[in-house]
Amino acid sequence: MSDDCIFCAIADGEIPARTVHETDDAVAFLDANPLAPGHTLVIPKTHAERVGDLDADLASAVFDVVSEITPAVEAAVDADGANVGINDGEAAGQEVPHVHVHVVPRFDGDGGAPIHAVAGERPDLADEELDAIATDVSAAIDG
């Protein structure tokens, strides 16, 4: 539990939420300001701010719930699909600093966009630049 964290308070039952599913380590509840009917958030019960702060067990526990609830949410609201994503960090739009996975139901012709629409203008990267980025990412994992 992190002091003043609203999602820790939800995980601890200190503030109410429309919980749809719960395991020992993760909980899923309806977003209070939904982008679509059925918009659900999945959080680890222990505080972690960023995706990279999740250890393997907690990451697995969260994604287990994501994979279980996504088809259930789609069925419950008769959706045709869903976008599943995380705003990781303020630059990406994260407002609540407790990692959470958004499951946003989508409907044919709803006027929304794919996840490709979240970033700014597409960069025009040469093959050599893509090669260098791949090398740098691998090095950052290993290093």
Minimum distance from CB of 15 to Zn ion (Å)? 12
63-102 residues near Zn ion, rule: CB under 5 A = 98
Give the dihedral sign, CA 80/60/53/30.
positive
* Under rule CB under 6 A, residue 69 binds ligand 5GP: no
Q: Which CB sits closer to Zn ion, 21 or 47?
A: 47
Tokens describing residue 31: 């977003």
Window contacting ligand 5GP (CB under 6 A); options: 31-39, 62-70, 106-114, 119-127: 31-39
Q: Which CB sits closer to ligand 5GP, 84 or 138?
A: 84
Q: How far is CA 46 from CA 10, 59, 103, 108, 134, in A?
A: 11, 11, 20, 36, 32
Window contacting ligand 5GP (CB under 6 A); options: 25-33, 48-56, 75-83, 133-141: 25-33
Distance of CA 89 to the CA centre of its chain: 12
**116 catalytically annotated:** no
Q: End-to-end distance of the chain based on CA atoms, in angstroms?
A: 30
* Under rule CB under 6 A, residue 37 binds ligand 5GP: no
Total residues at the site for ligand 5GP (CB under 6 A)? 13
C-alpha to C-alpha distance for 129 and 134, rounded to whole angstroms: 9
Q: Contact 43/7 with Cβ under 8 angstroms?
A: yes
Q: Given candidates 11, 27, 28, 29, which one binds ligand 5GP under the rule CB under 6 A?
A: 29
Binding site for ligand 5GP (CB under 6 A): 6, 17, 29-33, 41, 87, 93-96
